[in-house]
Structures are given as structure tokens and as C-alpha cells.
């Protein structure tokens, strides 16, 4: 999701595509295109996108505006409610501490640049797991935002299941019941897939397995 936000900035920002001349397009048309683009961007924009962008390892060292920082704090406050021990105050404080180490190139962000080379090859969740381990509250937020998808495929999949459940023969079901059944079905499929993954052990793992002692 953070990379999607960065791409939108690359198109509509002050240094984006529409800010400079486009071959074959007049200035008037280019400005109108920019207005249409920004109107759509404002309509679809969410602070969640900003937060994912600011915690993405490829962009976390950038300078952010006060508005963007405010949106990050807003998301941290909302996410903190979903965790029994993590607080948004700690998240914000740890974000500042992590940024300090990044800019000073100390701790996990030493001068050899391994963390930033990894930022271009690892997904945001794995990167946060490795390099933000000292800041547990911040790491928890970064992993959840980094795992968000900008694709509508999961929604389309759920709608297909809903159409299968809420058929012409079962069209008197309440919407809340239909949504619960969609969730039950998805969880059963996920549980089966997780079980198959656990059972799919490599041969060398079986050979190295130590049997329990006989009673």
C-alpha cells in the first residue's frame, strides 16, 4: 500500500509527471489532466495509505510534511486500540527513535547500508521483522501496514463466495448472517490450507526428527 501511495505522489506531486511538460500535450490540457487526477486522488485518499508509505522501508527515511505526520499519528491511535498492551504514545516515540538511528546510521542502520539494500529486496513485513525488532510497538504497526494489499482481489473473492451462499434459494437470509457465513467459509479454507502446510514436511526434517522416548 505504501508503494501505491508513492506512485501517486510520483504522478501528482509538485515534482511529479504532471508538473513538467509532456510531449504532445499542451500546457492547458496537462493542467486539466492534473486537476482531474488530483480530484480523484483526494476522493480515494486515506490516512492509512500515508501511514503505510511512511513506514515502508524504501521511503521511511524521507522528509514528511506535518500533514503526513498527523495522519500517521491518527492511524497509530486507531491501531493501538486493537492491541492489549501497545500504546500510540509508545508507537510515536519509537518511530522517532528509529528515525534518529536511521539518520545517524547507528545501531541496526550502520554505515554499510545493509538495511537499505535489504529494503529494495525484502517485503515491508520481513524488513520490519528484522530491522525494527528493538521497537516492538512500532514493529507491530509496520508489519500490519506493510502487509496491506492495494488490490481488490480479496474483495472480489469474498463477493463471489457471498453470491454463492446468498443464492435465489436462500435470498431471505439477513445480510449479517450472510457475512458471518462468508467469514466462516473463508476461515475453514484458511484452516485447511494451514494444516496442509504444517503437514508438508521435508524429507530431511523427517530424518532428523527425534522420536519421543517410550514410556
* Selection from 114, 9, 106, 115 nearest residue 65 by Cα: 9
pLDDT one-digit tens code per residue, 127-137 = 999 999 899 99
* Selection from 93, 124, 184, 170 nearest residue 4 by Cα: 124
Question: How far apart, in Å, do the first and last CA atoms of the chain sit?
Answer: 54
- What is the residue extent of each domain of the chain? 1-45, 65-147, 152-200
pTM of the entire predicted model: 0.68
Burial of 210 (0-12, 13-18, 19+ CB in 10 A): exposed
* Selection from 45, 123, 48 nearest residue 79 by Cα: 48
Which element (helix H / strand E) includes 116? helix 114-119
Strands (E) located in the chain: none
Rounded Cα gap, residues 119 and 146, in angstroms: 12
* Selection from 95, 104, 97, 111 nearest residue 54 by Cα: 95
Q: What is the pLDDT at residue 204?
A: 46
Q: What is the pLDDT at residue 62?
A: 87
What residue ranges of the chain have pLDDT lower than 70? 12-19, 106-108, 110-112, 197-215
Amino acid at each position: 500500500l505504501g508503494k501505491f501511495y508513492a506512485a501517486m505522489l510520483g504522478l501528482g506531486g509538485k515534482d511529479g509527471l504532471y508538473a513538467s511538460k509532456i510531449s504532445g500535450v499542451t500546457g492547458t490540457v496537462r493542467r486539466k489532466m492534473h486537476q482531474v487526477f488530483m480530484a480523484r486522488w483526494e476522493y480515494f485518499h486515506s490516512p492509512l495509505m500515508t501511514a503505510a508509505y511512511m513506514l515502508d522501508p524504501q521511503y521511511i527515511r524521507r522528509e514528511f510534511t506535518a500533514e503526513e505526520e498527523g495522519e500517521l499519528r491518527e492511524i497509530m491511535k486507531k491501531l493501538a486500540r486493537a492491541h492489549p498492551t501497545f500504546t500510540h504514545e509508545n508507537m510515536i516515540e519509537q518511530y522517532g527513535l528509529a528515525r534518529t538511528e536511521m539518520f545517524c546510521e547507528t545501531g541496526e542502520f550502520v554505515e554499510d547500508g545493509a538495511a537499505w539494500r535489504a529494503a529494495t529486496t525484502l517485503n515491508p513485513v520481513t524488513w520490519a521483522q528484522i530491522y525494527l525488532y528493538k521497537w516492538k510497538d512500532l514493529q507491530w504497526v509496520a508489519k500490519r501496514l506493510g502487509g496491506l494489499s492495494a488490490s481488490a482481489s480479496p474483495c472480489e473473492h469474498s463477493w463471489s463466495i457471498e453470491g454463492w451462499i446468498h443464492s435465489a434459494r436462500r435470498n431471505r437470509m439477513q445480510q449479517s448472517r450472510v457475512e458471518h457465513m462468508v467469514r466462516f467459509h473463508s476461515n475453514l479454507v484458511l484452516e485447511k490450507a494451514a494444516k496442509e502446510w504444517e503437514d508438508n514436511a521435508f524429507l530431511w526434517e523427517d530424518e532428523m526428527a527425534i522420536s519421543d522416548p517410550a514410556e
